[in-house]
């Protein structure tokens, strides 16, 4: 049972970060450049890949899809920890994928983001590892 609690805590942390990030993506100024001219320029310039979008639309879309991934992770792993703990904890594949996602986000948080998401992901990763370890020794 303790293993499931730590898994739910890990999932809830990532779900919360994803939901807050999604809210910031579509409301307020938290994810806009401090320089308004930069945002206007991003809205005018297309990436080399295609002229069908702009750098600004790509920025918003990438932020939203990033949020969706965190929300999905939180919902799926939280649900499995509560409703189907045997499926989750007896699946090396699911446990490895979850850990890989968290480690990937941890790397991105350290190298590219800032302290708040990094710390949140670190706590979520620690809870995840504790969850799996507790399940293994049980």
Spatial contact of 8 and 82, defined as CB atoms under 8 Å apart: yes
Spatial contact of 90 and 80, defined as CB atoms under 8 Å apart: no
For the residues 6-31, what does the mean pLDDT come to?
97
Spatial contact of 79 and 12, defined as CB atoms under 8 Å apart: no
Residue 86 confidence (pLDDT) = 97
For the residues 20-29, what does the mean pLDDT come to?
96
Does the pLDDT at position 111 exceed 90?
yes
Does the pLDDT at position 20 exceed 90?
yes
Q: What is the DSSP code (8-state) at residue 84?
A: -
Tokens representing residue 8 in the block: 């739910």
Domain boundaries, position 49? 2-137
pLDDT band at 27 (very low <50, low <70, confident <90, very high): very high
Q: Tell me which of 66 and 138 has the higher pLDDT.
A: 66
- Round to whole Å and give the CA distance between 63 and 65: 6
Full-model pTM:
0.94
Q: Using one digit for the tens of pLDDT, what is the confidence trace for 52-102?
A: 999 999 999 999 999 999 999 999 999 999 999 999 999 999 999 999 999
Residue 138 confidence (pLDDT) = 80
The total domain count for the chain is 1
The structure tokens 């809830």 sit at: 12
Buried b / exposed e over 93-105, threshold 16 CB at 10 Å, is ebbeebeebbeeb
């Amino acid at each position: 049972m303790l293993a499931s609690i730590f898994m739910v805590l890990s999932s809830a942390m990532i779900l919360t970060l994803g939901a807050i990030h999604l809210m910031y993506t579509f409301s307020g100024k938290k994810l806009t450049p401090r320089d308004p001219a930069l945002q206007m320029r991003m809205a005018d310039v297309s990436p080399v890949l295609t002229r069908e979008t702009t750098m600004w639309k790509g920025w918003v879309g990438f932020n939203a899809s990033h949020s969706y991934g965190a929300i999905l992770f939180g919902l799926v792993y939280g649900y499995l920890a509560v409703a189907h703990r045997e499926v989750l904890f007896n699946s090396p594949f699911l446990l490895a994928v979850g850990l890989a996602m968290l480690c990937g986000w941890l790397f991105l948080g350290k190298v590219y983001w800032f302290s708040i998401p990094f710390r949140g992901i670190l706590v979520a990763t620690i809870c995840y590892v504790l969850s799996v370890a507790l399940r293994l020794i049980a």
